[in-house]
Amino acid sequence: MLGEQALNLIKELERNPDIIPPYNDDLMKRCIEEIKSLYQQNINSLAELNAGRVGAEHASLLQARHAAIERTKRCMLAYIYHRQQRLKRYRWDYGGVLPSTIKVCLCEAEVRWFHEYCKNLADFQSGLGESGSCGVDLTVNMEPPKSLFVQVMCVKDYDEFETSDGTRYLLKKNSLHSLPRQDCEHLIRQGILELV
Amino acid sequence: MAYFDLDEILATSQKVTCKADENFSEEILTLLGQGRTHDSSEHRRRQKETKVEIPFWLLEALMAKNSQFATIELPRSYKSAFRQVLEADPVTVDMNRIGPYFYLFGCKLASLSPPERAQLATSLVQTFMGRVSWVMSRAQHSKNDQRPNTLDKFECRLYDVSVASEADFSNWMENGRSAEVGRRSGSKRKFSQMTH
């Protein structure tokens, strides 16, 4: 049915509100085909209409096809937009390296966009602060910190972790540590550590 | 934002029954995949009023150009009989069952000036006013309860926001600190909550 395929894209996002579902290349291509064919049909109808071969009631058909094109376009754009928003969120939660489980769900353009975004963010951050300093990492201290060190408990097994002052910690499950807040904030957001 | 809004796209994909007038082109039905065989379409053309089911987005687009195009028949959950149910006791109605986008779709419908438009609009407001205090009080006293599953999507969002701010508030009362990084850890904080 008209616009049904494009709606499936939206439903896919709706069903998985917390992850990026695999990029549905097949469905996107079919939507594009649909748009193209509707557009072609409209051109043909318009020619007939101008030539006076068909009555004015065909005008509403023309409108209907055009509305369908607009609708399909809207669904596709919304699909891309929401995926991009989620991807952007990953940058702030997980840092510049995407886990491979997420990477396989992205299309080529999205991976490219992610790298661009990381680069832009890095450029922007390095330009902040006094000249000569190495910039400010905006992704840490999302909430005003109350203390430099935090007590954390390790929820999952993790490799050895080196803090910015060079101390090494072995993060094993259920172990307790006192770590500098800004080093371990990423790990907390990824759910590897938990505040005690 | 509204252009990319998933909820709005899904809400406007719902179908509406309407009575088509004479210059309703049969081919639109074919476009929608509801076309009849040739004989009956000739027959239907002669009938003065035909009932058709078309998606809301298409109806909206067609009526924007020509408001005489068709007469909307309100869906069951917006009809006078159901409005009386809502008036009698808005709280007991299962919004999720009658349509997860009750308010959004209702507003959209009202914008097309269907018959009984004023009553429909009033009823939407009254229903919301009748339910909102109940939704809020459920949320404030939730204590890890499941969200009631009789809520409309909009009410769900309201509920989630209310639960989160209640948790923040009691946290602040007890510890004198607002929720810190820990609460945002990884998957606990959801995309669906962040975007709104």
> Which residues 161-190 on chain A approach chain B with CB closer than 8 angstroms?
185, 188-190
Average pLDDT over residues A72-86: 94
pLDDT of residue B186: 39
Average pLDDT over residues B162-171: 88
Residue A185: is it exposed, middle or buried by C-beta count within 10 angstroms (0-12/13-18/19+)? buried
pLDDT of residue B149: 84
Specify the residue for token string 């409005």: B83
pLDDT of residue A193: 85
B33 vs B119, higher pLDDT: B119
Average pLDDT over residues B14-19: 86
Q: In a mutagenesis test of the A interface, which of B1, B31, B34, B44 is the best target, namely the one with the most A β-carbons within 10 Å?
A: B31
Predicted confidence (pLDDT) at residue B72 exceeds the cutoff of 90: no
Between the alpha carbon of residue B168 and those of residues A174, A184, A190, B180, B194, the distances in Å are 27, 23, 21, 10, 15
Contact assessment for residue B59 and residue B112, using Cβ atoms and an 8 Å cutoff: yes
| B61/A63 CB distance under 8 A | yes
Give percent of chain B with pLDDT exceeding 70.
74
DSSP A91-149: HHHH-SS--HHHHTTS-HHHHHHHHHHHHHHHHHHHTSSSTTS----TTS-SS--S-SE
Do A24 and A82 lie in one domain? The reply is: yes
Residue A133 forms part of a structural domain: no
- Chain B partners of A142 at a C-beta cutoff of 8 Å? 181, 184
The Cα A147–Cα A143 span in angstroms is 12
3-class secondary-structure state, position B137? helix
User: How many distinct structural domains can be found in chain A?
Assistant: 2
Ranges of CATH 1.20.58.2050 domains, chain B: 74-196
CA distance B111 to chain A (A): 18
Q: In a mutagenesis test of the A interface, which of B12, B13, B196 is the best target, namely the one with the most A β-carbons within 10 Å?
A: B13
Do A87 and A20 lie in one domain? The reply is: yes
What Rg do the C-alpha atoms of chain B give, in angstroms? 22
Range of the domain at A16: 4-126
pLDDT of residue A129: 73
> Could you report the per-residue pLDDT of A104-143, keeping only the tens digit for each?
899 999 999 999 999 999 888 888 877 666 777 777 777 7
Domain range B74-196, CATH architecture: Up-down Bundle (1.20)
> Could you report the per-residue pLDDT of B105-156, keeping only the tens digit for each?
999 988 887 778 899 999 999 999 999 999 988 888 877 677 888 889 999 9
The Cα A42–Cα A59 span in angstroms is 10
CA distance A64 to chain B (A): 7
Query: Which of A17, A67, A142 is nearest residue B190 as measured by Cβ atoms?
Result: A17
Q: Does B24 touch chain A (CB under 8 A)?
A: yes
| Average predicted confidence (pLDDT) for chain B | 78
The Cα B49–Cα A140 span in angstroms is 65
3-class secondary-structure state, position B174? helix
| A63/B62 CB distance under 8 A | yes
pLDDT of residue B182: 43
Do A103 and A153 lie in one domain? The reply is: no
Q: Categorize the per-residue pLDDT at B67 as very low, low, confident or very high, splitting at 50, 70 and 90.
A: low
Q: Quick one: how far is CA B143 from the chain centroid? A: 28
pLDDT of residue B24: 66
Do A17 and A93 lie in one domain? The reply is: yes
Do A56 and A108 lie in one domain? The reply is: yes
The Cα A74–Cα A68 span in angstroms is 10
Query: Which of B4, B25, B182 is nearest residue A82 as measured by Cβ atoms?
Result: B4
Do A159 and A111 lie in one domain? The reply is: no
CA B28-B32-B33 angle, to 5 degrees, is 115
Do A120 and A162 lie in one domain? The reply is: no
- DSSP-assigned letter for residue B103: H
Do A105 and A14 lie in one domain? The reply is: yes
Do A41 and A110 lie in one domain? The reply is: yes
Do A54 and A23 lie in one domain? The reply is: yes
Residue B9: is it exposed, middle or buried by C-beta count within 10 angstroms (0-12/13-18/19+)? buried
- Chain A partners of B186 at a C-beta cutoff of 8 Å? 93, 189-191
The Cα B95–Cα B152 span in angstroms is 5
Other beta carbons within 10 Å of A132: 5
Q: Quick one: how far is CA A97 from the chain centroid? A: 14
Do A46 and A86 lie in one domain? The reply is: yes
| B4/A77 CB distance under 8 A | yes
Predicted confidence (pLDDT) at residue B180 exceeds the cutoff of 60: no
